[in-house]
Structure 1
Amino acid sequence: MSDKPTPSQPSLATFLQGQAPATAPLPAEPVAPVASDQEAAQALHEGGDITVADDLIPSQQANSDTLDEEPAPPAPAVTAPSFMRTERQAGAPPRATPRWQWGVVAALGLLLLVQVLVADRARLAADAGTRPLVSALCTVLRCTLPAWHEPSAYSMLSREIRPVPGQPGVLQVQASFRNEARWEQAWPALRLSLSDADGRVIGRRTLQPAEYLGPAADAQGRLAPGQSAQVSFRLREPAAATVAFSFEFQ
């Protein structure tokens, strides 16, 4: 019986040099031929299957380092729904304001102006510039105006003071004056001053219309422009040395 030959083992020196024993090369696997673009299109047209090797498809991760990143496409413009768009956004021409609306605005503004004039008519009537306007407005609306008050527009026509016979210390005063203003005025208040021979004032008194007109006269009446009036009344002399007097309108 013969002994089987034992396979030769590598020596220690060969093992230490890192040389592995030669091994038989592995048989190469057959590589499928890569179909061209024309053949692939024809195969798709005929309904055949095309097998593409995985190592021929570049991965996105591998190309991210070498290819420049393309900019993101702009976001599409957002448009409002048709029922929310205004006429200008929808392209329709703007509507013209109806004329009747302007008429309403003008009427309301005129009404507001009239209300202001009527409410403040007393102050406006005291000014010579605005009184004609307020007077014309009150003529239409039938409202009342306070009487014009301009004491300097009264002019004294005549005056006289004399003692009352049989009544010592009582003086009879008579005066006439005229309204020179452009509008009618109420009866003025009369301020009477009495002086002695040296010009010193020894007595002064302001008389209201009801005092110098008497109870029978209308103290609430008015004097028209250019109208004159004559008054007469009595008063007690403050001292026997009265020789002069003066009138002032208030």
Structure 2
Amino acid sequence: VIVIADRAHLATSPRWRPLASAACTLARCTLPAWREPEALTLLNRDVRPLPGVAGGLQIQVSFRNDARWAQAWPWLQLSLSDADGRVIGTRILSPQDYLGQSPAAQDALAPGQAVHVAFRVREPAASTAAFSFDFR
């Protein structure tokens, strides 16, 4: 009973998640999605000027879930830097921002699943020389 009552907390621990999952299978309850941004691997990234749109950028990113469990779609942090390495703009995108719609509650990235997403942003300054991505 304690496992069921405290399942959300227990599900955040790699040690206790299997027990909470087994208990929920029997009790027909659900666990919150796993969150382990450090287990997401950036596979490919591309930033290009958007043709015909002044200051527009077309972003393409591929990443893979290397966690042991399915996990929720991450938030993406895009940072743009100038030639001196100074960050001139940062944007944090929700899954809805880069997917174009909110993922369904049961929609998660399976272990080993690789995905490709594309989205557009406005360049903060014409001096953008580099970019980086981080998962949240």
Q: Which TM-score tier does this pair reach, normalised by the shorter chain?
A: over 0.9
Q: Residue 206 of structure 1 aligns to which amino acid in structure 2? A: I
Displacement of 1:141 in angstroms is 1.3
One-letter code aligned to 1:147:
A
Tell me the equivalent position of 2:8.
122
1:238 equivalent in structure 2: 124
Over residues 106-154 of structure 1, what are the superposed CA-to-partner deviations in whole Å (9 max), with x where a residue is unaligned?
A: xxxxxxxxx1111100000100111101111111111100011100000
| 1:144 alignment partner, one of 30, 35, 39 | 30
Instruction: Report the counterpart of residue 73 of structure 2 in structure 1.
Output: 187
Q: Quick check: 1:193–1:245 contact (8 Å CA) kept in 2?
A: yes
Indicate the structure whose relative CO is greater, using CA pairs within 8 Å and at least 6 residues apart.
2
Tell me if the contact between 1:209 and 1:219 (Cα under 8 Å) persists in the aligned partners: no
List alignment gaps of at least 5 residues for structure 2: none
Unpaired stretches in structure 1, ≥5 consecutive residues = 1-114
CA shift, 1:219, in A, is 5.3
Q: How big is the shift at 1:218?
A: 2.5
On the 8 A contact 1:210/1:219 being kept in 2, the answer is no
Equivalent pair of 1:187/1:219 in contact (CA under 8 Å): no
Question: Hey, what's the Cα distance between the residues in 1 that align with 2:91 and 2:104?
Answer: 18
Higher helix share: 1
AA in 2 matched with 1:218:
P
Matching residue of 1:218? 103
Structure 1's 219 and 231: CA in aligned 2 closer, same or farther, altered over 3 A?
Answer: farther
- Report the Cα distance in structure 1 between the residues aligned to 2:132 and 2:29, rounded to whole angstroms: 39
User: What does the per-residue CA deviation read over 1:83-112, in whole Å, with 9 as the maximum and x for residues that have no partner?
Assistant: xxxxxxxxxxxxxxxxxxxxxxxxxxxxxx
1:171 to 1:219, Cα distance in 2 relative to 1, 3 A: farther
Report SS of the residue matched to 1:186.
Answer: coil
- Percent identity over the alignment is 61
The answer for the alignment partner of 1:209 in structure 2 is 95
Richer in strand (by share) = 2
Q: Which has the larger radius of gyration?
A: 1
Map Cα deviations across residues 23-68 of structure 1 (whole Å, 9 max, x no partner): xxxxxxxxxxxxxxxxxxxxxxxxxxxxxxxxxxxxxxxxxxxxxx
2:62 corresponds to: 176
Q: Deviation digits for residues 5-34 of structure 1, max 9, x if unmatched?
A: xxxxxxxxxxxxxxxxxxxxxxxxxxxxxx
- Please provide the CA RMSD for this pair: 1.0
Contact 1:187 1:222 in 2 (8 A): yes
Cα distance in 1 between the residues matched to 2:109 and 2:37: 12
- The TM-score normalised by the length of structure 1 is 0.53
The residue identity in structure 1 corresponding to 2:103 is: D
Shift >2 Å, 4+ stretches: 217-220
